Structure 1
Amino acid sequence: MDALLAAIGRLLASPGFKFCLICGLILLLGIPLLIVWGLTSEREQRAAEVRRTVAQEWGDSQYIDGPLLVVPYTMRRVTGEGDKRIEEIVERRAIFLPKSLAITGDTSTKTLHRSIYDVAVYSSVLNFTGAFSAPEIAEATSEALEVRWRDAILAVAVRDVSGLKDAASLIINNSDKLDFEPSIGIPRMMGGGIHVRLADVSGLFDGAAGANGHAGGIKPFSFKFALTLNGSSELKFAPLAQETTVAIKSDWRDPSFTGGFLPTERHISADGFTAEWQVPHLARSVPQAWSLNDHEFERMLPYAFGVRFMVPVDFYQVISRALKYATMFLGTAFMAVFLLELRSRRQVHPVQYLFVGLTMVFFYVLLLSLAEHIGFLKAYIAASLATGGLLSAYVARVQNSMSKGLVMGGVFLGIYGLLYLILQLEDYALLAGAIAGFVILATVMFATLKVDWSGAASKAITASPAQP
């Protein structure tokens, strides 16, 4: 019995058992790490809610789909079968896209501060010029009975019409001027926008019968108008014309070009950016005319393009990426303390290892809370110095050795420096993390080659930790 108890005592005092216990502690610390991860997600959602609130007050992300020429017509619809067939005359609308469209815009941006959060918003003046060819109803449908050309409207869809900050007028053929009216001008059609009725435009309508057999028609015409628009985060356009060109100038220094097409030319500097797009209609799978159904008004949306006004550092995502490497760096710190313990006569109690781990977990709490107030870089430096300095002093006191405390200070400096480097690499973060993990594992393996893991040697570590 005494031999069995002695064997159990040697096992509990062996470096191998201590190593397994440390691994168990690392796994146990995954619980508070998950709590911190949830806290980060909660704060990120709170920031998103604040941005949505500011967007509702200032103007949401904007998407401009227009101008579109909308012409109502009637068609015969047959329902039922056999003797119960019913014929009825229903109204539909044909959509015609412009022949050419050029958009020039100048946007001024600023960052609004709501509580502790930053939201990028912009004010823009957008100038639209272009032309429509004479529309042919046969291009949109072959089932038209009567086409009401004089009830045609020119519509501009705007995602958030509350962002419009000035009245807008349409100029036809450089002569007729008409004021835009609210709504998209189409009954039962969801979506915001503005429209103009073309009935009063002089010389626009052709009274003679067209080749398609429908009386009247609309002559080719040019147009121009301007929109003063507020928005936030994003500004996008639909490539409507046979040749669509967009030129945007802004004072924002961190643009992200997004959507179906990238700029053909761009220039980004400390004073802002300029970007130009040229999109032919062959680059999109949408015809120049079609018959409108209830769910087809935004069929250009998949081809929309534009610019996103990015806040330069989204530290919530950076902190979430840092948490993915937490286990590796916890293991590195524990192994450093363990190696120092093996080379010392003073043992480190498992509770003291737990304190080291909890302090490293708290690093992320400090980083998150400070970053919301002073920015990510300053927060990272402060959290690193606080936790690294505390743990170095703690190890020095536990081991009763200033030199071992300085060694741990160097280890934590390396850990936090390596983590920051990995976070900055972004595209190469996984590669850098994999290489770092491999090097750390190799270092621990060769540093422990001479360790008597069973504790059977005469210099085995005793079970009771020495008091400082």
Structure 2
Amino acid sequence: MFVIGFLTLILLIPLFMVQELIKERSQRQESVVSEINDKWGDEVVLYGPVLKIPYRTYSEKHITNSKKELTTESIEALKYLYFFPHQLKIHSVVDPEIKKRGIYQTAVYKSKTDLSGNFSISDYQNEDISEKDILWDKARIIFKTSNLKGVNNEIYIQLGNSSYTFKSKYEEHNQLRPNEQELFLMESGILKESDFLKEKSVEFKMEVSVNGSSEISFVPIGKTTEAEIISDWKTSSFKGNFLPYNEDKITDSGFKAKWKILDINRPFPQVFNNNLPRLTEYAFGVNFMIPVDEYQKSERATKYGFLVIGLTFLLFFLIQTLSKIPIHPFQYLMIGLGLVMFYTLLISISEHSSFLKAYLIAGISVLLMISLYSKSILKGWKFPIFIGLSLFALYSFIFIIIQLESYALLVGSIGLFLILAGVMYVSRKIDWDHQ
């Protein structure tokens, strides 16, 4: 019993090595996917359009000259007001495809997004800013995105009777907070006074065509934001603080998701003074990631490796005790290494096939190998068949636990209870005093 316990602990070493192999392969997959996405275009976040209007501020500076006379100098500086749209409508069509490199693959896409709505600032009032200090004739439109290199066409906005082209502008980036994403700034030229009138709302339209990967999302900056995203991708999931409201969003041919977000639904105002925050943590959208959980399932399976090895050794020990057939420690070691081989087969096959097929192939291979090997040890077919059936039941039990989420602990606990009860029932016939 001491030797069997020692061998069980020794076999944890290759079991831990298999777990490290799974982590390494998983990290390799993430690295390759990241490289593909970086070349095609990273995930896309669209933020805008936003109306940017400068205003004058004044401050006093006290200066003491050489004669120790105190004078006051007035300093004028420019700051900015940022107005979000009163109404923002988003219509986005996303065309995804799969890119492969070796055994790894990721989802990339081409998207076409139409943005429309209006700005309404006629009722804007701020006691700290005088009306005469706001430079209405210097207004511009800004737009932000997380993916500049994925933009396919020139971006422009139709405002009033004119069209304004956006140009990239360098912006100093501060340290990102959690859930924030780096955004790049684009800015239009100065708006014509005939196109931008403070007294009435201003309609706008713009189109953005951009390549991206993994996901696309939008910041809900409209006082009322209405969005519709359409795609033929069938394994998508919706992300962000806001979920689609239509119940028929997912169909057999893809999805058509709709959102309606009011300003009261989000914790930020319609106007910002001087600094425009990123606000990407409040974005909503769609994730096009390919669901790859083979590595996660394989890692969960290896966590039961100690249980499989321990129960299998216990089974052989009980057979040895009841049948008086001697089993050498080297033979226990070979059986234990065979059980460890199950996990290397599982991870290697699952990279080229589904997890179910990999589990079946690895399980049947190891089950046959140990059953045939045990026949040469136990001199007959009765015990090897019993061992094969026991391993089949054990691997089936573990597979069921891996597939479950909410009931994994419950089913696992019941299964272990039944296994323990069976061992206690069998071992009751052993006369330990004469062993």
Same topology, TM > 0.5? yes
Q: For the structure 1 residues 147 and 403, does the alpha-carbon distance in structure 2 shift closer, same or farther, using more than 3 Å as the test?
A: same
Q: Counterpart amino acid of 1:405?
A: P
Bigger CA drift: 142-151 or 311-320? 142-151
Bigger CA drift: 56-65 or 80-89? 80-89
Q: Counterpart amino acid of 1:297?
A: P
1:331 to 300, 310, 314: 310
In the alignment, the residues of structure 2 paired with residue 403 and residue 77 of structure 1 have an alpha-carbon distance, to the nearest angstrom, of: 96
Aligned-residue offset at 1:218: 7.0
Q: Render the CA deviation track for 1:262-308: whole Å, top value 9, x for unaligned.
A: 11124323321121111111011101001133xx520x222111111
Corresponding residue for residue 8 of structure 1: none
Q: For the structure 1 residues 79 and 322, does the alpha-carbon distance in structure 2 shift closer, same or farther, using more than 3 Å as the test?
A: farther
Residue ranges of structure 2 left out of the alignment (5+ in a row): 65-69, 175-181
Corresponding residue for residue 123 of structure 1: 110
Aligned-residue offset at 1:136: 6.3
In the alignment, the residues of structure 1 paired with residue 409 and residue 262 of structure 2 have an alpha-carbon distance, to the nearest angstrom, of: 39
Is 2:263 the partner of 1:281? Answer: yes
Q: Is the 8 A contact 2:196 2:202 kept in 1?
A: no
Corresponding residue for residue 164 of structure 2: 178
Corresponding residue for residue 13 of structure 1: none
Aligned-residue offset at 1:112: 0.9
Aligned-residue offset at 1:198: 4.0
How large is the RMSD of aligned CA atoms in angstroms? 2.6
Corresponding residue for residue 370 of structure 2: 391
Q: Counterpart amino acid of 2:151?
A: L
Aligned-residue offset at 1:182: 2.5
Q: Counterpart amino acid of 1:194?
A: M
Q: Render the CA deviation track for 1:107-155: whole Å, top value 9, x for unaligned.
A: 1111111121011111111111111102666459637873232332212
Is 2:195 the partner of 1:204? Answer: yes
Is 2:184 the partner of 1:192? Answer: yes
Is 2:50 the partner of 1:72? Answer: no
Bigger CA drift: 133-142 or 363-372? 133-142
In the alignment, the residues of structure 2 paired with residue 451 and residue 80 of structure 1 have an alpha-carbon distance, to the nearest angstrom, of: 98
Q: For the structure 1 residues 66 and 311, does the alpha-carbon distance in structure 2 shift closer, same or farther, using more than 3 Å as the test?
A: same
Q: Counterpart amino acid of 2:37?
A: A
Aligned-residue offset at 1:350: 2.2
Q: Counterpart amino acid of 2:157?
A: L
Q: Is the 8 A contact 2:234 2:254 kept in 1?
A: yes
Bigger CA drift: 344-353 or 144-153? 144-153
Aligned-residue offset at 1:204: 2.6
Q: Please, what TM-score do these two structures have when normalized by structure 1? A: 0.83
Q: For the structure 1 residues 366 and 218, does the alpha-carbon distance in structure 2 shift closer, same or farther, using more than 3 Å as the test?
A: farther
Q: How many residues align?
A: 422
Alignment of 1:447-466 (within 5 A): 447-453=426-432, 456-457=433-434, 460=435
In the alignment, the residues of structure 1 paired with residue 61 and residue 289 of structure 2 have an alpha-carbon distance, to the nearest angstrom, of: 52
2:29 to 47, 66, 74: 47
Q: Secondary structure in 2 aligned to 1:222?
A: strand
In the alignment, the residues of structure 1 paired with residue 327 and residue 73 of structure 2 have an alpha-carbon distance, to the nearest angstrom, of: 90
Q: Please, what TM-score do these two structures have when normalized by structure 2? A: 0.89
Q: Is the 8 A contact 1:242 1:281 kept in 2?
A: yes
Q: Is the 8 A contact 1:139 1:289 kept in 2?
A: no
1:94 to 77, 81, 101: 81
Corresponding residue for residue 264 of structure 1: 245
Q: Is the 8 A contact 2:322 2:430 kept in 1?
A: no
In the alignment, the residues of structure 2 paired with residue 362 and residue 118 of structure 1 have an alpha-carbon distance, to the nearest angstrom, of: 27
Q: For the structure 1 residues 187 and 380, does the alpha-carbon distance in structure 2 shift closer, same or farther, using more than 3 Å as the test?
A: closer
Q: Secondary structure in 2 aligned to 1:374?
A: coil
Residue ranges of structure 1 left out of the alignment (5+ in a row): 1-17, 207-216, 461-468
